């Protein structure tokens, strides 16, 4: 599949996964791969500290869009972060609380509102993303979704709010967000994992939960940290080498073989359990996360996308 | 002080760190190591993968300690935190009578607080920990912390409810009739009306009813929060930071250490899981060997060795940078294991590695 066509098939890509699977790296890689096809990309980070922007060498990242990558022939990446608290203050400001929204935040009333309406913050973050989808001139919007075990909770929020707040502005907001989530041309989730047992299990669970409970279409899964194929690991180290060197060679080869076997097993299991295409990103042994590294990963992503079948 | 001494001497060990680094497994291994030393240890796990319950040799974990049988002189027990059940128990403990309990447990705002509120899981983990610690049944309570982006959620958790209760507007909401505050109350009333318009009247009514019902319990909750915070800051408590050498998780770990330091606390130990085994040859020699072997039958071996050496060097460098942030912490490196933990034997291997 042509990468340009790939990135044109869904405007918003929500990149989600558990902690430690390299979700921010995957988001940054996708953003770069899209920018290199000449697209303008908005990379959105949700809550917490920015993890993807520093990979482009950008110091900080604020609520306002900032350019972090710009190519001569048109591709570019903007980034901005959305914090749940700010999204809530902003939304209240737009709904009759302009003068007191900040004071509400300070006094703790905001916490009461958020507690009284579970999911409101997540909904408003998604609402902000939906607003960006409509306002932003970007060709592709890549969302680095909240880490930890919250991807499903985050994406389920609009359903929860729609069911508790049956009428009024919140209900309308939830309905609008769901409309975006349910339209594969507008939005898809891309799940990130590692070729290991627990991350694969979690990806499978998350994928079914997102499809069944949220009815959000899934794009290809992103598998990080793939060991490059290496044949001939059964060879015997040359006898003329020192004993310690031969031992090290044997140990490194055995470990590589074991890990490769484990990886093959897990990738097969993932493929069997989930009928999703996979974008595979290589493990980088000499990794210093930076633009050079991202370029290499983006090359791999593009190569992987090239070999994908077209998806509906 | 080393890891063995920590596990031997402390009453509470809090395992913290981001998700995906083997935190739950490390917590279980720490408790198992304590049991091997003859201590009575309980581990509180948060949503463990089923394989861990399997590894501990039990079908399922629940909210009360389950004794795990094994060849150790001490006692090992494990439980899985049930946030809602723990919160309900806390309400029962502080309530004046059954009627107050029922009214709170039935309130929708309370249901939100006890199930969906971010921070509730941390709050109840601390409650469970304090509960087990004060029961006197355990020499050591090990607690796994919920995966969270906010490093200090766990420390702030005990104040979750008291912070809501301390809120000035809340005080106005629950006392609409007090004379001196009538003018202020009119303002509060108008806030409530506006809020109702946005989030719905039912939602606001539930919140007000919750706070009204809660009256009389504030003091008990505040004292408990103060006591648990004191326990977390006590010398009998150790924070163990669990990490893996991946660049992204180590940057989270560094951030966590800094936040802990800002709160006047420090990590007593750092456990880095999934370290590559050490090589005898230097990274330069590994690189040279790759060149020497490139054209022969053993070319793949040279590549595997050079890749291993480069990855291990990067890992070492990152781990070193992390421990420099916590010079007083004990560092334990746990090697990459060939597979995930599926049985007691593997867990014991990790327990032994932690205390060797």
- Domain residue ranges in chain B: 3-184+218-295+311-319+327-355
Token duo for residue B316: 């070492």
pLDDT at B151: 60
* Of B327 and B157, the one with more pLDDT: B327
pLDDT at A292: 87
Cβ B38 vs Cβ B73: under 8 Å: yes
pLDDT at A312: 45
pLDDT at B142: 96
Span A92-106, mean pLDDT?
A: 74
Span A178-185, mean pLDDT?
A: 97
Q: Which residues of B touch A236 (CB under 8 A)?
A: 297-298
Cβ distance B204 to A116 less than 8 Å, yes or no, reads yes
* Minimum CA–CA partner of A285 in chain B: B311
- Given a cut of 70, whether residue B18 has pLDDT beyond it is yes
- Nearest CB to B248; choose among A51, A95, A253: A51
B20-35 pLDDT per residue, tens: 788 889 999 999 999 9
| Mean of all residue pLDDT scores within chain A | 88
What residue segments make up the domains of chain A, in order of their start? Answer: 3-84+119-230+275-306
* Minimum CA–CA partner of A112 in chain B: B164
Span B237-245, mean pLDDT?
A: 93
A245-289 pLDDT per residue, tens: 999 999 999 999 999 999 999 999 999 999 999 999 999 888 666
pLDDT at B118: 66
Question: What is residue A276's three-state secondary structure?
Answer: coil
- Nearest CB to A118; choose among B112, B168, B197: B112
* Minimum CA–CA partner of A237 in chain B: B298
* Of A17 and B162, the one with more pLDDT: A17
DSSP B57: T
Provide the edge-to-edge strand list for the sheet that holds A40-46. Answer: A66-70, A76-82, A40-46, A140-144, A12-16, A187-193, A221-226, A278-282
Using a pLDDT cut of 70, give the percent of chain B over it. Answer: 89
Q: How many CB atoms lie within 10 A of CB A70?
A: 12
pLDDT at B282: 96
- Given a cut of 50, whether residue B165 has pLDDT beyond it is yes
Q: How many CB atoms lie within 10 A of CB B14?
A: 26
DSSP B167: -
Length of chain B in residues, anyone?
356
Token duo for residue B62: 């629940």
Residue A110's pLDDT band (boundaries 50, 70, 90)?
confident
Residue B196's pLDDT band (boundaries 50, 70, 90)?
confident
- Given a cut of 50, whether residue B140 has pLDDT beyond it is yes
Q: Which residues of B touch A112 (CB under 8 A)?
A: 164, 167, 169-170, 207
Q: Which region among A52-61, A255-264, B221-230, B339-348 has the lowest average model confidence (pLDDT)?
A: A52-61
Token duo for residue B192: 């409530």
Question: What is residue B301's three-state secondary structure?
Answer: helix
Cβ A228 vs Cβ A286: under 8 Å: no
CATH number of B3-184+218-295+311-319+327-355: 3.40.50.300
Hey, which of A278-292, B51-65, B126-140 has the most confident mean pLDDT?
A: B126-140
Residue B231's pLDDT band (boundaries 50, 70, 90)?
very high
pLDDT at A166: 72
* Of A73 and B77, the one with more pLDDT: B77
- Given a cut of 80, whether residue A104 has pLDDT beyond it is no
CA distances from B273 to B250, B318, B331, B333 (A): 11, 13, 11, 6
Q: How many CB atoms lie within 10 A of CB B314?
A: 20
Span B251-279, mean pLDDT?
A: 89
CA distances from B65 to A252, B45, B68, B202, B339 (A): 42, 10, 9, 39, 27
Query: Residue A57 class from Cβ within 10 Å (0-12 exposed, 13-18 middle, 19+ buried)?
Result: exposed
Which of 3.40.190.10, 3.40.190.290, 3.40.50.720, 3.40.50.300 would CATH assign to domain A3-84+119-230+275-306? 3.40.50.300
Q: Which region among A126-140, A172-186, B56-70 has the lowest average model confidence (pLDDT)?
A: B56-70
Span B322-333, mean pLDDT?
A: 92
- Given a cut of 80, whether residue B174 has pLDDT beyond it is no
Which residues face B16 on adjacent strands? B241
- Given a cut of 50, whether residue A10 has pLDDT beyond it is yes
Q: Which residues of B touch A147 (CB under 8 A)?
A: 18-19, 147, 149
- Given a cut of 60, whether residue B233 has pLDDT beyond it is yes
A206-221 pLDDT per residue, tens: 999 999 999 999 999 9
- Given a cut of 90, whether residue B78 has pLDDT beyond it is yes
Question: What is residue B112's three-state secondary structure?
Answer: helix
Residues in CB range of B49: below 8 A, 6 or more apart = A198, A201, B24
* Of B77 and A111, the one with more pLDDT: B77
pLDDT at A165: 74
Q: Which region among A12-21, A293-302, B72-81, B188-197 has the lowest average model confidence (pLDDT)?
A: B188-197
Q: State which H helix or E strand residue B44 sits in.
A: strand B40-45
Residue B176's pLDDT band (boundaries 50, 70, 90)?
low
pLDDT at B348: 92
pLDDT at B48: 65
Q: Which residues of B53-88 are buried (b: 16+ CB within 10 A; e: fewer)?
A: bbbbeeeebebebbebebebebbbbbbbbbbeebbb
Complex ipTM > 0.90: no
Q: How many CB atoms lie within 10 A of CB B111?
A: 17
| Chain B interface test: which of A252, A262, A269 (most B C-beta within 10 Å) | A252
CA distance A93 to A96: 6
- Nearest CB to A169; choose among B191, B198, B251: B198
Cβ distance A96 to B280 less than 8 Å, yes or no, reads no
* Minimum CA–CA partner of B151 in chain A: A48
CA distance B311 to A179: 45
| Mean of all residue pLDDT scores within chain B | 86
pLDDT at A48: 63
* Minimum CA–CA partner of B314 in chain A: A286
First to last CA, chain B: 13
Cβ distance A149 to B303 less than 8 Å, yes or no, reads no
């Amino acid at each position: 599949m042509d990468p340009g066509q790939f990135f044109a098939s869904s405007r918003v890509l929500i990149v989600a996964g558990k902690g430690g699977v390299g979700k921010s790296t995957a988001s940054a890689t996708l953003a770069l791969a899209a920018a290199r096809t000449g697209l303008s990309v908005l990379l959105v980070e949700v809550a917490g500290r920015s993890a993807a922007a520093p990979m482009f060498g950008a110091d900080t990242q604020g609520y306002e869009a900032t350019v972090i990558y710009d190519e001569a022939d048109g591709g570019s990446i903007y980034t901005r972060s959305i914090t749940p608290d700010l999204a809530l203050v902003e939304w209240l400001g737009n709904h009759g609380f302009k003068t007191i929204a900040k004071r509400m935040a300070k006094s703790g009333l905001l916490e009461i509102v958020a507690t009284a309406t579970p999911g409101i913050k997540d909904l408003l973050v998604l609402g902000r993303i939906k607003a960006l989808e409509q306002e932003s001139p970007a060709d592709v919007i890549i969302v680095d979704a909240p880490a930890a075990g919250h991807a499903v909770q985050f994406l389920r929020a609009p359903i929860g709010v729609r069911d508790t707040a049956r009428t009024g502005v919140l209900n309308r907001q939830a309905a609008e967000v769901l409309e975006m989530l349910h339209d594969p041309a507008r939005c898809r989730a891309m799940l990130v994992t590692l070729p290991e047992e627990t991350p694969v299990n979690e990806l499978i669970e998350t994928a079914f939960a997102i499809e069944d409970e949220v009815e959000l279409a899934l794009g290809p899964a992103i598998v990080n940290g793939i060991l490059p194929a290496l044949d001939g690991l059964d060879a015997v180290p040359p006898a003329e080498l020192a004993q310690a060197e031969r031992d090290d060679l044997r140990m490194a080869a055995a470990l590589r073989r074991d890990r490769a076997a484990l990886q093959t097993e897990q990738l097969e299991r993932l493929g069997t359990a989930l009928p999703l295409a996979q974008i595979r990103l290589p493990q980088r042994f000499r990794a210093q996360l930076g633009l050079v590294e991202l370029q290499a990963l983006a090359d791999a992503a593009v190569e992987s996308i090239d070999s994908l079948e077209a998806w509906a | 002080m080393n890891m063995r001494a920590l596990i031997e001497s402390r009453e509470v060990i809090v395992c913290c760190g981001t998700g995906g680094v083997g935190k739950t497994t490390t917590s279980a291994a720490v408790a198992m190591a304590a049991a091997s030393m003859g201590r009575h240890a309980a581990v509180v796990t948060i949503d463990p993968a089923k394989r861990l319950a399997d590894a501990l040799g039990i079908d399922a974990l629940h909210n009360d300690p389950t004794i795990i049988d094994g060849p150790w002189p001490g006692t090992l027990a494990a439980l899985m935190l049930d946030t809602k059940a723990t919160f309900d128990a806390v309400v029962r403990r502080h309530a004046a009578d059954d009627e107050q309990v029922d009214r709170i447990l039935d309130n929708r705002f309370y249901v939100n607080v006890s199930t969906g509120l971010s921070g509730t899981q941390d709050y109840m983990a601390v409650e469970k920990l304090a509960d087990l610690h004060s029961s006197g049944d355990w020499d050591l309570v090990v607690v796994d912390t919920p995966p969270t982006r906010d490093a200090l959620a766990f420390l702030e958790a005990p104040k979750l409810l008291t912070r809501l209760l301390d809120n000035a507007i809340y005080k106005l909401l629950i006392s609409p009739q007090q004379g001196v505050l009538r003018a202020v109350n009119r303002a509060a009333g108008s806030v409530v009306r506006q809020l109702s318009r946005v989030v719905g009247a039912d939602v606001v009514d539930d919140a007000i009813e919750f706070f009204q019902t809660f009256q009389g319990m504030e003091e008990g909750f505040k004292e408990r929060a103060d006591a648990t915070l004191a326990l977390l800051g006590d010398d009998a408590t150790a924070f163990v930071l669990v990490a893996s050498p991946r660049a992204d998780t180590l940057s989270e770990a560094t951030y966590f250490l800094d936040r802990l330091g800002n709160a006047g606390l420090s990590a007593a130990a750092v456990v880095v899981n999934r370290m590559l085994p050490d090589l005898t040859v230097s990274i330069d020699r590994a690189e040279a060997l790759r060149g020497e072997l490139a054209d022969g039958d053993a070319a793949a071996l040279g590549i595997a060795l050079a890749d291993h050496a480069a990855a291990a060097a990067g890992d070492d460098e990152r781990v070193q940078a992390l421990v420099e942030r916590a010079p007083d912490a004990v560092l334990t490196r746990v090697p990459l294991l060939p597979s995930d933990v599926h049985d007691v034997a593997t867990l014991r291997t990790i327990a032994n590695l932690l205390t060797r």
